[in-house]
Amino acid sequence: MTSNSKAAKKSRAKSTSPSIGQGGETQQHPTDASDPTAILTDNHGHPISDNQNSLRSGTRGPTLIEDFILREKIFHFDHERIPERIVHARGSGAHGVFECTKAIPALTKASIFQKVGDTCPVFARFSTVAGGAGSVDTPRDVRGFAVKFYTQTGNWDLVGNNIPVFFIQDAMKFPDLVHSVKMESDRGYPQAASAHDTFWDFVSLMPETMHMIMWAMSDRGIPRSLRMIEGFGVHTFRFVNDAGDGQYVKFHWKPVLGIQSTTWDEAVKIAGADPDFHRRDLFEAIDSGDFPAWDLGVQIFDEVWAAKQAYDVLDATKLIPENEIPVDIIGRMTLNRNVDNFFAETEQAAFLPSNIIPGIDFTNDPLLQGRLFSYLDTQKSRLGTTNFHQIPINAPQCPFQNFQRDGMMQTHLPKGRANYEPNSLSDVGEDGGPRACPEHGFTSFRANDERNDPSQKLRVRSELFADHYSQARLFYRSQTANEQAHIASAIVFELSKVSLEHVRSRILSRLRNIDEQLAERIADGLAMDLPEKAPAARDPIDMEITDALSIQKQASPKSASDQLLGRKVGILFSDGSDKESIDRIKSAVESAGGTAFLVAPKIGKIKVKGGTLQADGQLAGSPSVIFDAIASILMPDAVEKLLKDSAAVQWFADAYAHCKTIAYCEGTKKLLAKANVEYDSGVVAIADFPRCGIARYWDREPKVRDLA
């Protein structure tokens, strides 16, 4: 390619903005029709007029299956790689039970919500999104949160994330989003990371991503444990009752252990110390009987309320603030059994948003509508057969029968001559086999006030979809000052990996619509001038700040024992340490529901005062980043040896830098001094632990790192 050709191509790329259509922010610049290579086409050479919006019936109507451009794009995307999942490839799964704690028959006829105490088996899978199956557990990423309910009226798959909103509004853009965040196609890296040119280039051109960016760059993107993440259905669904009346519903999973994150430095070091940190944490908790649990909550509202909002409830980049509609808890999921075989269960589990049961229905959310096609289609690529539903982990646990037969890997033995319906052949079964049941079968919601004019077929978005900044502003301004600093620092880090200055500048111009001070501190962190504010299709509004969006604001004061529930404490000891003191701390931690993990310079039996002890982990292989708090019981001569061990010094330095509780004995003081640990309310004498608790001491953070 000549330099002139490169310049022309670069110029054209810079001058083109995505076409958002009605309700969007910008329109695509005219294309040079004389240049065949400048026109976007489908795989059969048909010119494409709009690559941003799927075809739907009316402005807010359902997506139409006749949209061959959407179907081809999603179809190709679904089959790009085999057999690993394209997204959510690295996952952890477990079995459990769901129990209804509040019956809501007036709202829905869904079988699992009819009677308090009713239960059904579930299988849950948690995952990272961007990395492959061989990546690590702790990158900054969205976490998938998918639950399969094996109900008596069929399987219901609630397939969501640990963030209540998404990057895009229309399924048409899903392949583009994932292509941008995956490894760059010319070099095959970075793996499991969004800190690179192509992702932020896409984000900078798609203002609808900005709300999700705030969440992903917050501490939600680097969770402490899968047991300590929230889950969300993301989309707006419908509840339908026996009378056929429907209301909108949003689904929430609230972890019983509360929400907790790591720091960025901690997440990076955990990836090196234990790439399977989250997977191991979940498995060991269940294996030891510390069953993780989540409360299922719902937000219920109707069309009248929805019509009064300044945003569109069918927009997957928007949430319903909990201070406006509180989350009503209606059930609890407890995971109580690890899988017997990772491949057969966790890897072969197939979740489908289209798996719903009577009493639950879809809305015309254009992202959801595309997912209904995509997830079913992709199972053929991953699992090799249309009969993937016969794999035990995917099979319903209630009777199921139909006339769909044959196909690769058919394991059932259907009997009879007829494989069609209706039929009158008695050998199929009484009255010719199964028949549709109008009384109890699934029926779509009969009224649909979401539509404007169903006679129109348009590639458009609702006007309210064009407000890309109000909820991003709400999320940022609802955080504590400390959490805001984390967001700013995360974006500075990510953009520091972006080599294209015009992309960094474009992101800054978008951020000015969210919060001026946020944009300024990020520009300062990048040593860049602040560009002009990007034009907004709809001016952002200031919404009421809500504490439910902040991890730290939700962390209400707890007793020391409550703080220890589900957490892990590392106890460092060595030759001559006092066994009685170690046993006391270990017993106190375990009686409060925590896990005590003994760390020593050597892994075998060690002579201590009062007998012998065997360490659970060796010092160099058990860094403090894998614990929620640390304690040490050391004799002076052992400390003298450890002063020469960089792993020992770093053990304390990291715990201090990550704002954790450090409980020390008198002999440990020399190690604390060498690790530059300053005494504060979180650095306590061993006699005060664990009464002091293990909360993070965020006021320490300005002393240990330079935040944006």
CA distances from 526 to 21, 263, 533, 655, 686 (A): 33, 21, 17, 28, 43
Tokens of 701: 């953070």
Assign 541 to helix, strand or coil.
coil
Round to whole Å and give the CA distance between 60 and 450: 6
Which one-letter amino acid corresponds to residue 77?
A: F
Interior/surface letters 329-356, b for 16+ CB within 10 angstroms, e for the rest: ebbbbbbeebbeeeeebbbbbbbbbebb
Round to whole Å and give the CA distance between 135 and 276: 9
* CB within 8 Å of 571: residues ≥ 6 apart: 582, 585, 586, 596, 597, 598, 599, 630, 631, 632, 633
Instruction: Examine the residue annotation and report whether 482 is marked as an active-site residue of this protein.
Output: no
Question: Do 580 and 610 contact (CB within 8 A), yes or no?
Answer: yes
* Active-site entry in 53, 161, 355, 448: 161
CA distances from 60 to 204, 308, 318, 405 (A): 26, 16, 15, 37
Radius of gyration of the chain (CA): 27
Instruction: Examine the residue annotation and report whether 95 is marked as an active-site residue of this protein.
Output: no
Helices (H), 16-66: none
How do beta strands 231-232 and 246-255 pair?
antiparallel
Tokens of 427: 């050998």
CA-based nearest residue to 104, from 256, 249, 215: 249
Sign of the torsion formed by the C-alpha atoms of 253, 254, 257 and 259: positive
* End-to-end CA separation in angstroms for the chain: 41
Residues carrying an active site annotation: 88, 161
